[in-house]
Amino acid sequence: MSADHSALSRIEAYTLGTLPEAERRLMDAEREKDAELDAAIREFEEIKAGIEEAGKAELREKIRSWEEKAREREPGSRVPGIRIAAAAAVFIGCVAGLYFLLPQNGGVEETAYEMFSPYPGVITERSGSPASAEDSLFTYYAAGNYAAVVRMFESRQSFGDDLEGLRDFYLAESFIAEGRYKDAANLLADFDDGEHALFEVARFHYALALILSDRKNEARNTLRLIATEDGLYREKAEELLALTDD
C-alpha cells in the first residue's frame, strides 16, 4: 500500500467514523496543527457528501421509474399489453413463492388504520369544556399537532395539569397518530376504569394499537370483550375479529 493510499484510508476511516477512538483523538489533535491535513479531511467530507447526494438522486430516479411502471399497470391504464405482462409476472411470481412478500395480515392492519382517528377535541370528563390554554399538551393535541405532544413526552417537558387523568389517554392517541403503536398500547392497557367517560374509546383504541403492533392474539381478547357488549364499537370489533380469523 502506498503512502498516499494509506493516508487516504486513514482520512476515510476518520470521516466514516470507523477509526478506533484513540486514533481518532490523535487525528483530531493533528488536524488542529496541520492545515493541510485539515483541508484534506474537509475535501473528503465534501466528496463523501456529494457521492451520497448522487446516490440519493439515483435512487429517487429509480423510484420514479417504478412509480411510472406501477401507474401503467393500474386498472384504466391505456397500455393493455403491459397490464397483461404485469398480471403474468404476478402469477409467475406467486408460483415461484413470491406470495410471501405480501404484507402479513395487511387486511386487518389496514382496517385498523381505517378505524382509527384521534379522539376529536379535548374535553374534561366532568365539565365537558375545552382544556385551558396553559395545558400545552392539550393545546397541541387540539390543534392536531400530535408530533409535538410526542416530542414533549420524549424531552420530558412538563405537560401542564394532568387533566382528570386524561393526559395518558391523549398521549396514547398521539402515539397512535405518530405510528408508535407499542407505546400507545402500553399506556392504554392501564386505562381500565370502566366508569370513565372515555373508557370505551380507550379500550377500542387499545385493541387497534395491539393490532398495529402485531400483537393480534391480545387484540382478539380485547375485541371479543367489546363484541360481547352492546357498546359503540361492537360492530367494528366484530369486523376486526372476522379479519383476524383469516
Interface ranges with other proteins (CB under 8 A): 4-5, 8-9, 43, 46-60, 62-64, 66-67, 69-71, 93, 98, 100-106, 109-110, 113-114, 143-147, 177-182, 212-214
CB of 51 to other proteins, least distance (A): 4
Q: How many CA atoms lie within 13 A of 30 on its CB side?
A: 16
Of 137 and 211, CB closest to other proteins: 211
189, 170 in Cβ contact below 8 A? Answer: no
203, 191 in Cβ contact below 8 A? Answer: yes
Of 25 and 60, CB closest to other proteins: 60
Residue labelled with grid coordinates 476515510? 12
CB of 228 to other proteins, least distance (A): 27
Of 213 and 222, CB closest to other proteins: 213
Of 94 and 225, CB closest to other proteins: 94
Residue labelled with grid coordinates 435512487? 59
Of 35 and 102, CB closest to other proteins: 102
Write out 155-220 in H/E/C secondary structure: CCCCCCCCHHHCHHHHHHHHHHHCCCHHHHHHHHCCCCCCCCCCHHHHHHHHHHHHHHCCCHHHHH
Using CA atoms, how far apart are residues 36 and 26, in angstroms rounded to an integer?
Answer: 16
Residue 200 burial by Cβ neighbours in a 10 Å radius (0-12, 13-18, 19+): middle
Using CA atoms, how far apart are residues 97 and 90, in angstroms rounded to an integer?
Answer: 10
Of 34 and 43, CB closest to other proteins: 43
CB of 194 to other proteins, least distance (A): 28
CB of 52 to other proteins, least distance (A): 5
CB of 33 to other proteins, least distance (A): 23
CB of 232 to other proteins, least distance (A): 22
